[in-house]
């Protein structure tokens, strides 16, 4: 016999919830998104005896109010999917604060098992927690766990399963007394709600009443739509609010929070927690680290040092496997050329598929190393310090300390991706700061723009690569901040929102957590390479191949070749001349193709920034995905080259091309950095804000990028001349 | 004597007397455990003197100075939080 149960993992951010989820479900997880919003949904399974248990990882939240999307989602999953049980993961060293969420689960009535996590830290700090007593006082099973080592997870699952069976899906809301004034009102409201069956199919009646007192936006809106006793409830709340203001000089939601903390304290005071050592003897590692890492002078210096070290490590370390992949795809291309007879099919496989996908895959090592380091910084708690240290500076530009994260993920320290970056803006509560962040995050040098920069830098500024890359990054930040300031003082004006944020204690991240995190990012990049970019590569190849040169032109080139073959005696000279003719023919073919015509059409305008029709083709392709820019250059140049054995790299070819100089390279770097985000990012932006803003950013960024590219090219040309 | 949290220096300890914020801001502060009666200690300030880092209920929280203005406290002399 086998049965299935669904348990939801809940807990505050930094309670070790994700680590515990990974420990429980191992590799058996699915990552997706909740429909309509971008909060990540993680699910996994675990088996125990005959039972198969679905585990849903709820987003981390501090409360069940409607403050953030995470909280709304957690609430929605509980009431709409009605899991059999909630495992509430609390940090044993911060019981008082973490039980605040637990109390709200008790009020909702769903069966709860409490996981006392980070027991290793607790014992290190000399904390003793009387588990039996806590369990008896809370009226739910309490299990001790250490998520990082997986200790206690078996018992946790067993207890969860037993408790779920014992409760049989029955919700038993806890009734907390909120003092005479509130209790009286709550009772009257509960009666009204019960009598009308008002939202009682989803929530317990008293809980709805509480949410009315707390002025919960979501419940109020849902109530207004339903009608029924909504108006009467609102009137009752208004009356009580006035009463509280007059007699107690406070608001109902403040009283509710006070009583909840009061309840928690009354429980903890009953000899649940004891300290073996006095607090003053304890050495607080995090506090000591913070006194250095967030020190007024040392803090920023260390921060910039850490960020700069990330470049150096990424580039030095990433170079090695990138070379291997480069050789691999070079070999694949040669093999394909040898195996497949010359013609359209060979051209498709070699120029379209292998060159296109190879160009993208070559950057996988870079991205993997980058995300490995970002994951380390995030999980170690340092990222929150970065937000803390940068908040004051970012606020000047109408942003928030939390804007640092989306910027960094988008590529603010290079090699990121604007798609997760734009998604990361959902942690920003204020719609205005969020909008400013998500509109400017795509300016960052994402992993897909890197190849373009690397190509151009190798060709034109090879003496100081790292310095130029660093300058590009600083320029990206400057543009993002200035444009954000511009937007926040024009189109999206408004006051800044609260910066209430937890500084989690420093901890050494688990290898497994970091590897999982990195793998998710790298895999999604590779999937993008395998699907969207492969399709775009083939599409672009077709656009650059068809229509072929008309018969008469082809005949003309053939005749020229024959003439050379017949007249020129010296073999070396003859081959050179034929190659020149072939190059001219390839050039003419490309220009005659669909892509060439589009590129030529824009050339009169783009010439202002020094871009010829070939660059234009690549830039149009870049809208589909920025990776395509380099692969299009690759395709374009391999199409224009006669000898497949020719080993000169693309950057040598571009460097040798008379149409290119340092001014052109600079203009192109600026344009690629700033112009329209790739299509995937635009779709993500539309989902996070609206299509109006997504289209705005596409048009605005392109105009801005072009304007600056023109200035760079014109001024640069003056200096070169 | 009542004071706003902003006036506290690093390493000073105080007890929250009242929260003068309203609406979402006040809800956020309460959800994070800043309720009257809570003891807090200023443990640091960011390099640009803002935001401020507080220690309360065994965890560390950051707030901007203008948010600290809404939190009225009384100083505690030489007491551990």
For the cut 90, the answer to whether the pLDDT of residue A263 exceeds it is yes
Mark A567-586 as b/e (b = at least 16 C-beta within 10 Å): eeeeeeebeebbeebbeebb
Residues of B with CB under 8 A from a CB of A: 18-19, 22, 24-33, 35-38, 43-51, 53, 55, 57-64, 67, 80
How far from the centroid of its chain's Cα atoms is residue A685's Cα? Answer: 12
Q: Which long-range contacts (CB under 8 A, 24 or more apart) does A192-199 make?
A: A192/A229, A192/A232, A192/A233, A192/A236, A193/A229, A193/A233, A195/A229, A196/A228, A196/A229, A198/A223, A198/A226, A198/A228, A198/A229, A198/A230, A199/A223, A199/A226
Could you tell me the residue ranges of all domains in chain B?
A: 2-76
Which tokens in the block code for residue B76?
A: 């505690």
CATH class held by domain B2-76: mainly beta
Q: What is the pLDDT of residue A100?
A: 95
At the second CATH level, the architecture of A179-278 is: Orthogonal Bundle (1.10)
Q: Do A214 and B27 touch (CB under 8 A)?
A: yes
Q: Give the pairing type, strands B13-19 and A85-91.
A: unpaired
Question: Which residues on chain A are in Cβ contact (under 8 Å) with B24?
Answer: 67, 498
Q: Do B60 and A505 touch (CB under 8 A)?
A: yes
Which pLDDT band holds residue A281 (cuts at 50, 70, 90)? Answer: very low
For the cut 60, the answer to whether the pLDDT of residue A638 exceeds it is no
Boundaries of CATH 1.10.287.1770 in chain A?
179-278
Give the closest of B22, B31, B48 to A67, CB-based: B31
Q: Do B57 and A393 touch (CB under 8 A)?
A: no
Please give the C-alpha separations between residue A95 and each of A134, A272, B15, B38, in angstroms, as whole numbers.
Answer: 11, 10, 20, 15
* Residue of chain B nearest A301, judged by CA positions: B47
Question: Which residues on chain A are in Cβ contact (under 8 Å) with B51?
Answer: 388, 391-392, 401, 499
Q: Do A391 and B36 touch (CB under 8 A)?
A: no
Distance from CA of A242 to the nearest CA of B (A): 14
For the cut 60, the answer to whether the pLDDT of residue A1 exceeds it is no
For the cut 80, the answer to whether the pLDDT of residue A344 exceeds it is yes
Q: For domain A3-167, is the CATH number 3.40.50.300?
A: yes
Give the closest of A287, A389, A395 to B47, CB-based: A389
Which residues lie closer than 8 Å to A666 by C-beta, 6 or more apart? A712, A713, A716
Q: Report d(CA A638, CA A580) in Å as an integer.
A: 14
Which pLDDT band holds residue A643 (cuts at 50, 70, 90)? Answer: very low
Taking residue A9's Cβ as centre, other Cβ atoms within 10 Å add up to 26
Give the count of Cβ contacts less than 8 A between chain A and B. 123
The three state secondary structure string of A132-184 is HHHHHHHCCCEEECECCCCECHHHHHHHHHHHHHHHCCCCCCCCCCCHHHHHH
pTM of the complete model: 0.78
Q: Report d(CA A52, CA A47) in Å as an integer.
A: 5
C-alpha torsion sign, points A207, A213, A218, A221:
positive
Give yes or no for a contact between A357 and B15, defined as CB atoms under 8 angstroms apart. no
Question: Which residues on chain B are in Cβ contact (under 8 Å) with A392?
Answer: 46-51
State what percent of residues in chain A have pLDDT above 90. Answer: 36
Question: Which residues on chain A are in Cβ contact (under 8 Å) with B33?
Answer: 96-97, 100, 261
A2-6, A136-140, A398-402, B72-76: least confident range:
A2-6
Which tokens in the block code for residue A188?
A: 């009257």
Q: What is the mean pLDDT of residues A555-578?
A: 85
Q: Report d(CA A142, CA A672) in Å as an integer.
A: 55
Instruction: Say yes or no: ipTM exceeds 0.95.
Output: no
């Amino acid at each position: 016999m086998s049965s299935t149960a669904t348990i939801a993992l809940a807990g505050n951010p930094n309670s070790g919830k994700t680590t515990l989820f990974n420990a429980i479900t191992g590799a058996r997880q699915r990552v997706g998104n909740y429909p309509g919003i971008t909060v990540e949904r993680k699910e996994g399974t675990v088996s125990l005896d005959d039972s198969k248990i679905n585990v849903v990882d709820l987003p981390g939240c501090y409360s069940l109010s409607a403050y953030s999307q995470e909280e709304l989602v957690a609430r929605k999953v509980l009431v709409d999917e009605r899991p059999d049980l909630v495992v509430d993961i609390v940090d044993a060293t911060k019981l008082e604060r973490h039980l605040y969420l637990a109390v709200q689960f008790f009020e909702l009535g769903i069966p709860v098992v409490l996981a006392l996590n980070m027991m290793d830290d607790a014992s290190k700090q000399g904390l003793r927690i009387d588990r039996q007593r806590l369990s008896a006082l809370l009226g739910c099973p309490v299990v001790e766990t250490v998520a990082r080592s997986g200790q206690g997870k078996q018992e946790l699952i067993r207890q969860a399963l037993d408790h779920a069976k014992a409760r049989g899906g029955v919700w038993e809301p806890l009734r907390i007394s909120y003092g005479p004034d509130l209790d009286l009102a709550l009772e009257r409201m509960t009666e009204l709600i019960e009598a009308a069956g008002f939202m009682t199919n989803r929530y317990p009646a008293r809980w709805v009443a509480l949410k009315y007192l707390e002025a919960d936006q979501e419940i109020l809106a849902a109530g207004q739509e339903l009608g029924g006793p909504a108006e009467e409830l609102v009137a009752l709340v208004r009356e009580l609010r006035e009463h509280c203001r007059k007699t107690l000089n406070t608001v109902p939601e403040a009283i509710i929070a006070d009583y909840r903390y009061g309840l928690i304290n009354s429980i903890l005071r009953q000899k649940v927690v004891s300290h073996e050592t006095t607090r003053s003897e304890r050495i607080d590692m995090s506090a000591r680290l913070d006194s250095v890492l967030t020190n007024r002078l040392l803090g920023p210096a260390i921060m910039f040092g850490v960020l700069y070290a990330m470049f150096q490590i990424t580039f030095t370390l990433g170079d090695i496997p990138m070379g291997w992949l480069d050789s691999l795809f070079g070999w694949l291309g040669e093999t394909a050329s040898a195996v497949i007879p010359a013609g359209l099919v060979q051209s498709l496989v070699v120029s379209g598929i292998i060159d296109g996908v190879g160009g993208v895959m070559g950057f996988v090592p870079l991205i993997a190393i980058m995300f490995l380091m970002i994951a380390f910084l995030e999980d170690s708690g340092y990222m929150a310090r970065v937000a803390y240290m940068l908040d004051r500076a970012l606020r000047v530009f109408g942003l928030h300390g939390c804007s640092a994260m989306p910027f960094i993920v988008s590529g603010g320290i290079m090699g990121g991706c604007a798609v997760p970056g734009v998604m990361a803006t959902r942690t920003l509560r204020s719609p205005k700061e969020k909008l400013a962040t998500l509109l400017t995050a795509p300016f960052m040098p994402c992993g897909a723009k890197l190849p373009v920069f690397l190509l151009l830098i190798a060709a034109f500024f090879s003496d100081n690569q790292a310095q130029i890359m660093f300058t590009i990054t600083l320029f990206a930040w400057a543009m993002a901040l200035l444009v954000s300031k511009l937007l926040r003082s024009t189109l999206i004006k408004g006051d800044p929102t609260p910066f209430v944020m937890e500084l989690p204690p420093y901890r050494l991240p688990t290898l497994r957590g970091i590897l999982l995190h990195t793998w998710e990012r790298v895999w999604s990049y590779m999937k993008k390479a395998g699907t969207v970019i492969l399709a775009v590569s083939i599409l672009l190849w077709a656009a650059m191949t068809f229509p072929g040169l008309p018969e008469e032109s082809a005949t003309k080139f053939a005749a020229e070749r024959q003439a050379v073959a017949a007249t020129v005696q010296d073999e070396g000279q003859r081959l050179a001349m034929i190659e020149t003719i072939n190059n001219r023919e390839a050039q003419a073919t490309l220009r005659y193709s669909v892509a060439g015509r589009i590129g030529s059409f824009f050339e009169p305008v783009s010439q202002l920034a020094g871009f010829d029709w070939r660059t234009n083709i690549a830039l149009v392709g870049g809208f589909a995905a920025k990776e395509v820019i380099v692969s299009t250059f690759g395709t374009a140049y391999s199409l224009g080259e006669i000898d497949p054995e020719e080993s000169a790299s693309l950057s040598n070819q571009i460097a040798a091309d008379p149409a290119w100089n340092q001014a052109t390279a600079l203009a192109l770097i600026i344009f690629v950095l700033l112009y329209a985000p790739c299509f995937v990012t635009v779709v993500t932006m539309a989902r996070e804000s609206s299509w109006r803003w997504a289209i705005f950013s596409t048009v605005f960024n392109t105009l801005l990028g072009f304007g600056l590219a023109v200035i760079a090219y014109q001024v640069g040309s003056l200096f070169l001349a | 004597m009542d004071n706003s949290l902003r006036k506290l220096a690093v390493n000073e300890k105080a007890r929250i007397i009242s929260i003068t914020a309203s609406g979402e801001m006040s809800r956020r502060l309460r959800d994070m455990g800043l309720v009257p009666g809570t003891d807090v200690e200023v443990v640091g300030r960011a390099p640009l003197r803002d935001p401020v880092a507080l220690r309360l209920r065994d965890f560390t929280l950051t707030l901007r100075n203008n948010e600290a203005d809404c939190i009225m406290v009384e100083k505690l002399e030489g007491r551990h939080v």
